[in-house]
Structure 1
Amino acid sequence: MKKIIVLTGAGVSAESGINTFRDADGLWEGHDVMEVATPQGFHKNPELVLNFYNERRRQLFNVFPNEAHKSLALLEEHFDVSIITQNVDDLHERAGSTKVIHLHGELLKARSIHNPNSIIDWKTDIKIGDLSEDGKQLRPHIVWFGEEVPLLEKAANITQTANILIIIGTSMQVYPAASLIHYVSRNTPIFFIDPKPNINQTDFNGLTIIQASAAKGVPVLVSDLIAKEG
């Protein structure tokens, strides 16, 4: 069975109504990135940071997978599919995808401020005084700026196995996630789906650019891939 690796970014979730966090002015929901997405910001004002992610977490219960998420789940019936996402929501899983790596963490998990490996499921607000098993304050299980991306090596190793690479809804400007495209073997077919693609077709062999939103472009590509597999 052919191996398809899918890299997804904020553009996939945006069509389900999830804001893409960072606006054109560099603010995240009206906050400076350094205030809400760094260890220093958390140390300075933990309540502000917890409330920021509490709002994001609450929003998850009012949104649903879109056609892009559903089509990727359907792809598993015909291919060995692994999704590597920069998104911290659970929409891929709710659509039915079974192998999902969250490079930047997950909103529905929390972890100890002392031990990054002490991770638990968490679906409600995190408050000051909520403690992990080691007695330390809980924080969102989110990879903040300046922190290591613990699953990057695993994602890179999986990307190397791709027979087909699909990139959806990401600018490919956020590193280290953007570096994953360089791990596929030469001449591996690459499909790039984005309404405003900013990738140079001459930079990669076998690159096909699909200028469309995720919800429109992904179902078409999935149907085509399934039909060709026969």
Structure 2
Amino acid sequence: MAEAAAWIRNASRAAALTGAGVSAESGVPTFRGAGGLWEGHRIEEVATPEAFDRDPVLVWEFYDARRTGLVRCRPNRAHEALAELERRISDFTLITQNVDDLHRAAGSRKLIELHGNLWRMRCTAGCGEWEDRRAPLPRPLPPACRCGAPARPAIVWFGEWLDPADLAAAEAAAARAEVFLVIGTSGIVEPAASLARTAAAAGARVVEINPEPTPLSAVAALSLRGPAGEIVPRLVGTA
């Protein structure tokens, strides 16, 4: 722990990748355990372009339930410590697989949301994106753009590509980091999981923070086992 804290303290360039484990500590469901079900539906059945084409109302009911559940969730100590790290390190990038906006709520601004944001919508006719904080959403669903076309969640669904600009920015941040933190992620979902390997290959010290070993443990210079909300504040010195 002391060694990793010293690496962070002395770094002028750093980045972090966060996953569902960080959100889970704020009470956000991960859908990775318990069979990954929502109302009897597999998550893959309500989080794909094909699902939206087939039944947009069902898909929006799922996302509306997720949004409504987020209203009571607050950033935890890991979110807050990472926001503090951004203030201390001039070249710091926070890359997240989470879509709950809790990093921004904690104060993070140098933020790349690889998988989108639950509070944003996108016009299916190409008008663009916007933020909508209503929860629950008014019926009938789906919500509509001002042009009248149905809106979809601004989320990267199963089977969709990440935004190329976001991925390029994340890869660049990983490649130039002296220290790369991997926090609360399974290390399974690509291409996000490859960012730690990119950082390690470029010479970064990769520090993994997770309760259990993951496929990324092999590339980590140091693995710290435990909840992010306990370990990250101690690393940053905000505990």
TM-score by length of 1: 0.88
Spell out structure 1 runs of 4+ moving beyond 4 A.
Answer: none
Change (3 A) 1:20 1:29: farther
1:118 and 1:132 in contact (8 A); partners too:
no
Q: Residues 61-96 of structure 1, C-alpha deviation per residue, up to 9 Å, x if partnerless?
A: 101011100111111232132110000011111111
Moved more, 184-193 or 139-148: 184-193
What CA distance in whole angstroms lies between the structure 2 residues aligned with 1:29 and 1:21? 12
Q: State the shift of 1:137 in Å.
A: 0.6
What CA distance in whole angstroms lies between the structure 2 residues aligned with 1:199 and 1:217? 20
Change (3 A) 1:112 1:171: same
Moved more, 31-40 or 167-176: 31-40
What CA distance in whole angstroms lies between the structure 1 residues aligned with 2:152 and 2:160? 14
Moved more, 41-50 or 76-85: 76-85
What CA distance in whole angstroms lies between the structure 2 residues aligned with 1:71 and 1:34? 33
The reply on whether 1:41 has 2:23 as its aligned counterpart is no
The structure carrying a bigger helix percent of its residues is 2
1:22 and 1:29 in contact (8 A); partners too:
no
Gapped regions of structure 1 (runs ≥ 5): 225-230
What CA distance in whole angstroms lies between the structure 2 residues aligned with 1:195 and 1:153? 29
The reply on whether 1:84 has 2:99 as its aligned counterpart is no
1:69 and 1:92 in contact (8 A); partners too:
yes
Moved more, 60-69 or 120-129: 120-129
Specify the code of the residue in structure 1 equivalent to 2:169. Answer: K
Q: Which residue does 1:162 correspond to in 2?
A: 177
CA RMSD of aligned residues (A): 2.0
Q: State the shift of 1:164 in Å.
A: 0.9
Corresponding residue to 1:14 among 16, 24, 38: 24
Q: Which residue does 2:4 correspond to in 1?
A: none
1:21 and 1:29 in contact (8 A); partners too:
no
SS of match in other structure, 1:71: helix
What CA distance in whole angstroms lies between the structure 1 residues aligned with 2:46 and 2:237? 40
Change (3 A) 1:29 1:166: farther
Give the count of matched residue pairs. 221
SS of match in other structure, 2:63: helix
Q: State the shift of 1:155 in Å.
A: 1.4
What CA distance in whole angstroms lies between the structure 1 residues aligned with 2:49 and 2:226? 36
Q: State the shift of 1:129 in Å.
A: 5.4
Q: State the shift of 1:16 in Å.
A: 0.5
Change (3 A) 1:29 1:74: farther
What CA distance in whole angstroms lies between the structure 1 residues aligned with 2:129 and 2:216? 39
Q: Could you tell me the percent identity over the aligned residues? A: 42
SS of match in other structure, 1:50: helix
Q: State the shift of 1:28 in Å.
A: 4.7
Q: State the shift of 1:134 in Å.
A: 4.2
The reply on whether 1:136 has 2:146 as its aligned counterpart is no
Q: Which residue does 2:232 correspond to in 1?
A: 218
Q: Which residue does 2:60 correspond to in 1?
A: 50
Corresponding residue to 2:207 among 191, 205, 209: 191
What CA distance in whole angstroms lies between the structure 2 residues aligned with 1:82 and 1:139? 28
Q: Residues 138-187 of structure 1, C-alpha deviation per residue, up to 9 Å, x if partnerless?
A: 01111001111002222112221211100100011011111111222443
Gapped regions of structure 2 (runs ≥ 5): 1-10
Specify the code of the residue in structure 2 equivalent to 1:175. Answer: E
SS of match in other structure, 2:193: helix
